[in-house]
Every structure is written in C-alpha cells, then in structure tokens.
Amino acid sequence: MADLVELERPESVHSAEEPREPIAIEDVETDVSEKKVFMADDPETMFGITLPKLDQETEAEGYYQWHIKTYRDLEERIEGPVFEVGEHKWKILLFPYGNKSASATDHLSAYVDYVRTPDTPSENRHACAVFSIVAHNVNDPSVYHSQHARHRFSPQENDWGFTRFVHLRSAFSENWEDKDRPLVENDEVVISAYIRIFKDPTGVLWHNFSDYDSKKETGYVGLKNQGATCYMNSLLQSLYYTNYFRKAVYQIPTENDDPHNSITLALQRIFYQLQTADDAVGTLDLTKSFGWDSMDAFMQHDVQEFNRVLQDNLEGKMKNTRADGALNKLFVGKMKSYIKCVDVDYESSRTEDFWDIQLNVKGMKNLQDSFKDYIQVETLDGDNKYFAEGFGLQDARKGVIFQSFPPVLHLQLKRFEYDMMRDAMVKINDRHEFPLEINLEPYLAEDADRSQPHIYKLHGVLVHSGDLHGGHYYALIKPEKESGWFKYDDDRVVRATLKEVLEENFGGEAPPTTNGFGVRAPQFQKANNLRRFMNAYMLVYVRESMIDEVLAPISEDDTPPHIKEQLEKERIELERRRKEMEERHLYMYARVVHTNQYKNHQGFDMGRLEATFPGDEVPADEPITMRILKSMTFRDFREQIATENGVAPGLVRFWMMVYRQNKTSRPDVPLPAAAEDMTMDQVREKYFQHRTPDVKFFMEVADPSFVVDGVALWPNEQNDGNMLVFLKEFDTEAQTLKGAWYTYVNRMDKVGDIATAIVSKKGWPSNTQVKLFEEIKPGMIEPIKPKQTYHQAEIQDGDIICFQRTLPEKQLADIQQSGGYISATEYYDFMVNRVRVTFKPMNIDDTQQEFYLDLSRKNPYFLVASKVAEHLGVDATHVRFTTSNSQTGQPKSTVKQGPGVTLQNMLQPYFVQNPSTQLFYEVLDVSLTELESKKSLKFHWLSEGVTKEELVEILVIKNGCLQDAVPLLAEKLKLSEDQASRLRVYQVHNNKIYKTVELTYPVASVPDYISLYVEEMPEEEIHIQPNDRKIPVFSFSKEPSRPHGHPFTFVIKQGETFKETKARLLKRTGFKEKEFGKIKFAVVKQASFSKPTYLEDDDVLSQVADEQDDVLGMDHADKTGRTRFSAFERAFQIKG
C-alpha cells in the first residue's frame, strides 16, 4: 500500500458566512505578455477557479489534499481517509488504473464518496454539493488538472465523479500539456477534493424524483395529468386551497347524482381525495362529467374561461342550497365605468360585477402599475368632447374605478395578446413584478367602503412555461395562513422558496449565466442573456382581514358522508383486487358446462366459453366459472360443484373438454378415478393439453335409469361401443338454434334411428320428418346420411348432431319471404357472419332511439333496411343510413343503396382496417329515390332573436331557387302567410355573415361549407329611416379571432347613444337581462382582426362605426364548445 499523507492546511472547512468568489482571469493583475500562473497547492485559488458560483446559498465548504507517494504500487481500488465538510463525512475514491466496470482501463478514475456512518440521522440524509477533483505535481503546483461537477449525494447515490479523469499515458508523460514536467512525477501526485455544500430549503435541489413521495415529504398530493390537463390541475389546486370554496362545493347535495354526469359530485370526490389520499389523484371522472372524450384531454383550453364556465355551472347547482350565494360572496367585486364632466355637475356611470380582473403586462413594471393603468382616466376634450344631456358638448374625464374588491381576488395577467403587426396572438414574456402584499385602497372610488383595510396577501401564483403554441402549467400556493409555499406540478408537490414564487415568475430576462457549468467564460466572453418563458399568468390574493374565514380549516363534519362512504367502498374493492392479483399464482379457474346451461345455449359448440356480445347480461347459457385454489383436491371440487347444483356427488361425472384442431371445444374422455385425490393443479398438468392456465369440464349427471342402489352405472363403462353425443334443434319457426339434450348411442347403430327417438321425445306426430346435420365446426355443417352407422359417419364422443323438423313448402316460403332462414345450414352460416350492429339516430328526439340488431354481414342493403324499418315501424324505402367513423364514432358518409351493397360493405367501406359496428339512420319524409332528385338544405331558424335556434332540413328541387324553400319552411315552422312573406335568408361562414341572398338565388349554387340562416325580417329593418343604416353583428370571446354564436344585422340610428342602442339590442337578441349585462360591445374591422374598440353607454355607435367595413362585436363567453382558439386550445364546454 502506498503512503498516504494529509498535507497541512490552515483550515479544513470554510465558513458559509464567508463564501469564496470564483476568480476570473480579468480580476488578476498581470503583464500583457505574461500569462497568469495558478498554483494548485493554494486552496483559496483552487476554490475560485475550479468551483462555479451557483445561484444558491452556501451551507459549508472545505477541501482535502491527499499526497500519494508510490502511485504504481496502488491497488486497483483505493479509498482515502475520511474528512468532514460541514456536518457530512467524505472521502476520495480512486481507481488508479481505471474503473474496469466502466471500461476505462486507460484512465485514472476519481470520485468523491459520501460516507454514511452509523450515526447518520436517517435515510433521507443528503448533501447537495458542487465539487472539483484536482491532481497536481508535488514539486510544481502549476502543473495540475481539474474537473468539477454537481450532485445530490445520498445513501442511495453516495459517489460521484469522473470515470475518465485523466489519461494515464498523458499523466506520466514528461511534458504535461504546455509544461516541462509530468503530472505524476517520480510516482508522486497530490489528489485534492474541493467541496461546496449548498442549502436545500425545499428538500428537492437536484432531486431526480425517482423515489419521491409528495405526501411523505410535504403532506400534500398532486393531480394526475391526462395528457394536456396541467392547466386544469393548477386551477383546481388553487380552488381546493381556497377552503371557503371547497366547503361551499361540499354543501351542494349530490347523494342522488349520476356519478358519470355530475360535475359537482366529481369535484367533491377530487377534493376529498386531495385531503385523504397518499398518492396523486386522478381527474378522469371530472372530465367525463364535462362530457369530454380522450381528445379533449389532449387539448389545452383557456384557463380564465374554464374557471368562469366551471363556476357558472357550480353557481347554478348551489341555488336553493346551503351554499347559495357563496361564490358571489367569495369572488365577486364591483367596478364603476364613468364619464364625468369637468365644468358642469354631470356624471354618467354604470356599476357592474366582476369575477376577475384582466391586467396589462406589456409596458407595466409591476402590479401597481397595472392597476394604475386599469383605472387611468381619459380626458375627452377638443374634437372628442362629450355630449352631456342638457349641457351639450363638455370637457369630461372617462375611466373605470373599483367600488369593492372581493375576499378572494383573481388577477388575470394578460400574457397572451393580439399583435397587430404579426396579425397573430403572441405571448408577452416581459418582466412584471408582483408583491407578497398589496394595498388596493388607492384604486377604490371615493365613496367606497373603507371601514376595513384593503390589504391583500398573495395566496397563489399560476404559472405558464412555454410559448403560445404549447407549454406547461403549474401552481405555487401557500395552502395555509402560516404555512410555507409549495409548488403543485401535476402529480408532484414540492416545497418552494420565495425566490421561486416571485423572482422566477416575474418574466423578463434571466440573470446572466456563465460558461460551461457556471465558470465565467474565458477570454472575457459574456454569455447571452436569455428571456424567461416561465412567468405568472394568474395571481390569487386573499384579503388579510378575511383570511381566517377564507382559509378556515375543513373539518370532518364539512365533508359529505356519502363521499367518504363511496370512496371507502372503492378503496376496499381496490384492496381486494390488489390482494387477488398478489395471490393469483395460488389460484386457477375452472369452467364447467352442465345440462341446464347447454339447453339454454344458442350458437356454436357447447356454450359461450369465451367472449359474449357487448351489452349482454350474464346469459343462462353461461358455464359455471369458479376461482379455485390450485391445491384443492379434485374430490373436493367435484363435491362442491355437485352440491351447489343439487346433485349427489356420486351421481356426477366430469368429462375433460379439449380444444380440437378444428377450433371447437368438446368433451373428450371422462376424468379417471385416479384423479380423485390429485390437486387441481396436478389434474391440469397431467390431463389437459398444453398445460392450459385453466380447466374446462362437462359435468354429466347420471340418468335415473342408470342408477342402481344409489350407484351410477355409466353406459360407456358397461359397453365400449357406447358414445356420448349431444343434440341441438334448429327451430325453423322460432328461428332459434338451441341445445336439446345429450344421449348415448352405439357406434354400430344407424344414424337415422335417432330420428324416431327425437320425434318421440319432442312429442311430434309419428310421421314427422327430421333432417340431421353434424356440427363439425363454424362454417362446416354437413348433412348426415341416415343409413350410415355412427362409425361410418365418423361420429365420436362429444360430437354434436343438429336436427330440424321438416315443414310444408308454403310455410317455408313465408319464413324465407320475411327474411328468415329455412335450413340449419343457412342459420349456421348466419351465425358465422353474425354481427351486432348498433343503429343510432342522426338527430335524437323522443321518437327515435338507439337500438341494435343481430344481422349477417352477407345481408343485402334492402334486407338491412327492411329489418330496421320493421323495428321502427316505418317504410323501408324512407330509411337512409350513414356510416360511422371507427375512430371517433361520428357520422361519416351516406350509404348509397344498390343491389350489390351488403352489410359488410356498409360497415367496412374501402377496406378500412378497423371496421365499425355502428350505423346512423334517418327516417326521411320522402323515399330515397325521390331524394336523389332533390338537394337537402339545412336552415338555422332564428325565432327569438339569436338565443333560440332550430335546425330545419328540407328538400328542394336541385334546379330550383331558394324561393321554392319558403312554403316548405312555412309548413314545417307553422308560419302564417304574412310571416312567410317576411322571411329573409343570409349565408354565414365562421360565425360571421357572409352575405345576404335574394330568394331567387339558385339552390345548386349554395356551397356546402356555408350555413344558411333564415329569420323573419325585424320591423325596424322593414321601416328603416333614410339616415339609418345596417351593421353586421357577431359574437366573439376575448378576441375577434374567436367568433362563436349566431350573427345578425342591426339598425344603427343616427346620433343615438349606445345606452339607448343597447336597449334595442336587448330586444333584438332576445337575451335575458342578467346574461345581456355580461356582454361587452366593441366595434371591429371586418376585413382584419384589428384591436376592438370597446363602447361605453355614452358613445354614439353611428360615430364610432363610421367606416363601411366596421362590424359590431359582442364579447362574451362561448358556452357551445365549438370555438377553436389555436392548434392546442379549444373553447371550454361542460355538460354535466
């Protein structure tokens, strides 16, 4: 072993209060022609140039120098003495000739090892450190080599370093790099370790999260991400920790709610699980209650709209409950829009509620600037003077002021805005600071209630990381009044520092980084500043004076009892399944076909031993299925089955069912007596083919005629020529194929002899003719010659003989005419090609429901139509089918009728790989033949403004005009002749009016992509005044590029104030006053999506909308779910 020498040093551990700064080359005074030389035996210098200064708080730092005197005598693996840095023990670990396990035999491998000692407090003990390993020449410290890294040292990952620290040939060469001495000289070298330990206030610094437990580390759990639901998770966590809100949700009665369609019930379950669960909580039940499919889970939605639509839904559910009014009390404030004259005593104002406040970020330094900008006063003077009623044109001040703030204030930072130059939405990543505490009194109206302070404390920060086209959302929340901050990132919850809450989410440019791993760039290079794409988009503040009420703890009594009971049942069931999975190696399955089951079986083989049709209840022909211990004896198994079926155990016998090469399962031979005391696992391995995972039996019950003194005398044991065969009956009249019974026959008997026994047992007249068939396999059903013996017909144990009663020709013709099958072979063919088709109505109403029919893929179109028409009680010529998309389940294309079209063609057109088993149907007013000569036009009938829409579809002659549709519309809509004379039609595209068309417009010219709207022309348009004009009106959500709803035209009256205009708009649109009050109106350009000009009550629409292409926009939430905002975002819609 080589001598190990610890060099003397002034200190082993450097105080954390005096951290060393990295030494930069530009900080060293040096002659221009002389390069600065650093000495590796100077710890101060080595700390400065080998360890990067990270943006973390230092806990402790120290170093150790290890003098190796006889390098070539070292063993393959060697550990240095233990030394301390901070409260942690360390040592240097060397592989002098390379770490062979890492295939580095030509290098010195060097590591820092974190020493776990018996007095180490816990397995969670760790140290987050930046370290460097330095090797230097003993005689000339200017000859050195170093590498550095960072690592989270723990008992699980206790060593870290450099497998290829230095190449051995280079280290021993006479000239190390540009020096004239080797690194290792005379077999001597000094290996040093410099360690700087950083504080880890969150407990997850540089954590790889492979074994992270949120509940254990923080006491809280997260929410699972379904694909792109991180935006929803962040908001749900914020609402959950608003305890007043959570309590209000709990107070909504949900005991009788449908668990699949109730948003409230799903939300209650999520909230309770967040309280009690040990692992992340799923949100699938909640999104299902929204009416979403899997595609919605991968589409991002607008968070603000999500919040509003969700709370609108909950507010409705809270009506007339204990929670009634809770959301208004918690989230709703009041603001006043005003215009106040300067020189006269006149003010026009309007007070309205707000649920959140949208604040500008661009051009604003901080939150206070955003509030000042929001209430900024605009002066109306000069050419822009305000017309005050009774005072004429006056100088005035126009603005918005707050009259009250709610206990919980949601601030939406406008990180996403429309860029006119780019003609696109962009994300604003500018720096925007927000405080932990803010006083909102400066933004209140003079007459506002100031009896309580308006100091607000930051409670939550919702963050978006990414750009407009995608990104990630998470939340930083202070869950309790006196708690710290936590980061809720989907299923992971970690502690957070104030820096992570504030500085890192202000946006703007990130602090300058340094080259490599933090070391300043050599040769005075400066790293580029990077713009942060991670910033706050929503802030949650709670009023300090109400924080105790808002964040009051949730008690056990606040939780709905039925939620706890249901989740406990689910937990017990989950535990049962988990235990079952753990013990499944101890169990096996046994399936038993028995007499009663066989008689109820309709189909192939002995029973439905495999899958059943979807939607079927457990059928009477289902074999007995048992989960049994592999160690159970066959004797016990036989006795249990017999007893459960009410038969003496001695009167039953079990036949092994084997899977034949023709893909049928049939009884083969009885299980021998030797199996009685064997375990079921031994029976399976010895007697069943291929050691199948389960066993299948046919349980034979002894016929009373073969029982003597309580002992069964089995026929095939008395005579080797006897065979067990099974009989099935095809009932031509009932169109059924069912098991009949089983019997013994002798191999040398003629097959035709069994016909007499069949007629007798069925009670048919003695002259009844019977046809016999052998069921060989699906698709192979062959007639049996009656004069053949069973041996000649190759009938053996377990075979199935099907019989059919012969009927008169006329009766058979009638059955065939009605779509039935007249022979067993035809019916078997039907079963081979049978498919259960689901028929869905194209337009659901009270008269048309979803149903299914069992049909053959070979059925021609006319027969499918006849079967459907018979079920619906309609004429088959009036039924039209539409194919279904196999991926989405939505209607795809209309099926063309024709003689060569079969059901197979209808379900699987164009050789689709995954055919659907679903068709849509319509019952038409005319036959399909007549339909082909006409064109179907769909009109959106607006009968009450724009709030009530009825879709009307009519058939118009293809070479006609829209005038031909008027009498048909009048008939369907029950309009009077006078009303019909006032109908007007306009074309709509992308929720905007495309153009108004005359009734002489050709039907053939109507494009497929255009929607036709029809309405009765309003009186004010019929009697429009000469100075008035019409303007198109459309709805949008936040941005004009997000249109929705039904557009219309409206009369602008010259000189009318917008307050008066709105009164006419209320009547024209048909909105309810409360809903109408939430709409903001703006003038926008029709040709381009320019920034809208929002209107106030005292504006004059005829003056603001003074250009030809101006349109009037109504800004309000889209509740239809049809708006698509971007490639990654859709309008939010919930149905529950």
CA distance 562 to 256: 10
Reported as a pLDDT band with limits 50, 70 and 90, residue 527 is: very low
Reported as a pLDDT band with limits 50, 70 and 90, residue 914 is: low
Say what the pLDDT of residue 295 is: 60
Say what the pLDDT of residue 905 is: 84
By percentage, how much of the chain surpasses pLDDT 90? 36
Provide the H-helix boundaries in 110-200: 168-172
By percentage, how much of the chain surpasses pLDDT 70? 88
Determine the average pLDDT of the residues in 109-126. 77
Higher per-residue confidence, 4 vs 465: 465
Contact in structure between 528 and 262 (CB atoms under 8 Å): no
739-771: per-residue pLDDT in tens?
A: 889 999 999 999 989 999 999 999 999 899 999
Determine the average pLDDT of the residues in 2-7. 35
Say what the pLDDT of residue 22 is: 40
Say what the pLDDT of residue 123 is: 58
CA distance 765 to 1008: 66
Among 911, 842, 848, residue whose Cα is nearest residue 880: 842
Position 656 pLDDT exceeds 50: yes
Decide: helix, strand or coil at residue 744. Answer: strand
Q: Letter for the amino acid at 5?
A: V
Determine the average pLDDT of the residues in 17-36. 42
Say what the pLDDT of residue 1127 is: 36
Q: Hunting for tokens 């009106």 — which residue is that?
A: 1033
CA distance 5 to 8: 9
**Is 817 exposed, middle or buried, given 0-12, 13-18 or 19+ CB atoms closer than 10 A?**
exposed
972-1017: per-residue pLDDT in tens?
A: 888 888 888 889 999 998 888 888 888 888 888 888 788 899 999 9
Position 511 pLDDT exceeds 70: no
CA distance 430 to 582: 55
Lowest mean pLDDT across 258-267, 569-578, 923-932 = 923-932
Contact in structure between 1060 and 1089 (CB atoms under 8 Å): no
Determine the average pLDDT of the residues in 514-528. 38
Say what the pLDDT of residue 419 is: 65
CA distances from 55 to 52, 58, 198, 513 (A): 10, 9, 10, 10
Contact in structure between 341 and 396 (CB atoms under 8 Å): yes
Among 434, 352, 404, 375, residue whose Cα is nearest residue 543: 404
Position 326 pLDDT exceeds 90: yes
Q: Please state at what angle helix 263-276 crosses helix 561-582, rounded to 10 degrees.
A: 70
Say what the pLDDT of residue 849 is: 82
Determine the average pLDDT of the residues in 197-215. 84
Contact in structure between 903 and 858 (CB atoms under 8 Å): yes
Whether pTM exceeds 0.75: no
Say what the pLDDT of residue 99 is: 87
Decide: helix, strand or coil at residue 469. Answer: coil
Position 334 pLDDT exceeds 90: yes
Q: Which string of b and e fits 641-669 if b means at least 16 CB within 10 Å?
A: bbeeeebeeebbbbbbbbbeeeebbbbbe
Q: Hunting for tokens 């003038």 — which residue is that?
A: 1083
Helix or strand run (H / E) with residue 636 = helix 634-644
Say what the pLDDT of residue 9 is: 33
How far from chain centre, in Å, is Cα 555? Answer: 31
Position 1121 pLDDT exceeds 60: no
Position 945 pLDDT exceeds 70: yes
Q: Left, alpha or beta for 647 (phi > 0: left; psi -120 to 50: alpha)? A: beta
Lowest mean pLDDT across 99-113, 466-480, 1056-1070, 1077-1091 = 1077-1091
Q: Hunting for tokens 């790889």 — which residue is that?
A: 208
Higher per-residue confidence, 888 vs 863: 863
Say what the pLDDT of residue 765 is: 92
Lowest mean pLDDT across 267-276, 490-499, 1102-1111 = 1102-1111
Say what the pLDDT of residue 294 is: 59
Say what the pLDDT of residue 299 is: 63
Contact in structure between 98 and 92 (CB atoms under 8 Å): no
783-841: per-residue pLDDT in tens?
A: 999 899 999 989 999 999 999 999 999 999 998 888 788 888 888 888 888 889 999 88
Q: Hunting for tokens 């089955």 — which residue is that?
A: 641
CA distances from 735 to 596, 621, 800, 811 (A): 20, 18, 19, 13
Position 272 pLDDT exceeds 90: yes
Decide: helix, strand or coil at residue 939. Answer: strand
Contact in structure between 467 and 454 (CB atoms under 8 Å): no
Provide the H-helix boundaries in 230-364: 230-240, 243-250, 263-276, 284-289, 303-318, 326-331
Q: How many residues does the chain have?
A: 1136
Lowest mean pLDDT across 138-142, 306-310, 680-684, 1063-1067 = 306-310
Other beta carbons less than 10 A from residue 996's beta carbon: 14
Reported as a pLDDT band with limits 50, 70 and 90, residue 512 is: low
Say what the pLDDT of residue 1131 is: 47
Say what the pLDDT of residue 913 is: 59
Say what the pLDDT of residue 912 is: 54
419-455: per-residue pLDDT in tens?
A: 666 666 788 889 999 999 999 999 999 989 999 999 9
Among 687, 649, 641, 690, residue whose Cα is nearest residue 668: 687
Position 1125 pLDDT exceeds 70: no
Q: Which two tokens stand for residue 1109?
A: 């292409």
CA distance 735 to 363: 80
Helix or strand run (H / E) with residue 136 = strand 127-136
Among 453, 490, 496, 454, residue whose Cα is nearest residue 478: 496
Q: Letter for the amino acid at 97?
A: Y
DSSP codes joined into one string, 998-1053: -TTSBGGGS-TTPEEEEEEPPHHHHT--TT-EEEEEEEEESEEEEEEEEEEEEEEP
Reported as a pLDDT band with limits 50, 70 and 90, residue 388 is: confident
CA distance 419 to 939: 36
Say what the pLDDT of residue 16 is: 35
Position 186 pLDDT exceeds 70: yes
CA distances from 838 to 613, 834, 863, 907 (A): 12, 13, 16, 11
Say what the pLDDT of residue 654 is: 93
Helix or strand run (H / E) with residue 107 = strand 107-115
Determine the average pLDDT of the residues in 1081-1089. 72
Reported as a pLDDT band with limits 50, 70 and 90, residue 1072 is: confident
1032-1071: per-residue pLDDT in tens?
A: 999 988 788 788 889 999 999 998 999 999 999 998 998 8
CA distance 518 to 56: 12
DSSP conformation class of 20: P
Show which residues are catalytic. 230, 472
Determine the average pLDDT of the residues in 337-366. 91
CA distances from 252 to 277, 323, 885 (A): 22, 7, 39
Say what the pLDDT of residue 609 is: 56
Q: Which two tokens stand for residue 769?
A: 């003719």
Query: Mean of the per-residue pLDDT values for the chain?
Result: 84
559-609: per-residue pLDDT in tens?
A: 999 999 999 998 898 888 888 888 888 988 898 988 888 888 887 888 765
DSSP conformation class of 789: B
Determine the average pLDDT of the residues in 929-942. 84
Say what the pLDDT of residue 23 is: 40
